[in-house]
Amino acid sequence: MKLIIKLVVAVVLVLLVVYYVGGYEGFDATKQGRDARAAIGPGMSWKQAFDITGDPREYRPIIKTTRRIGPETFDTYEPGPRNKFRRATVETRLAENTLPHGFICTFTYSGAVAFTVKFDNSGTVIGVTDAITMADLLQLKDE
Give the contacts of 97 (CB within 8 A, at least 6 positions apart): 121
| Domain positions in the chain | 28-137
Q: What is the pLDDT of residues 30-70, one digit of tens each?
A: 888 888 889 998 999 999 999 999 899 999 999 999 989 88
Reply yes or no on whether the pLDDT at 13 is more than 90. no
- Higher pLDDT: 21 or 79? It is 79
Backbone angles phi, psi at 126, to 5 degrees: -115, -10
pTM here? 0.74
Instruction: Give 45's DSSP letter.
Output: B
Q: In the prediction, which pLDDT does 32 show?
A: 84
Of 32, 33, 36, 93, residue with least CA distance to 59: 93
Residue 97, judged by CB atoms within 10 A of its CB (0-12, 13-18, 19+), counts as exposed
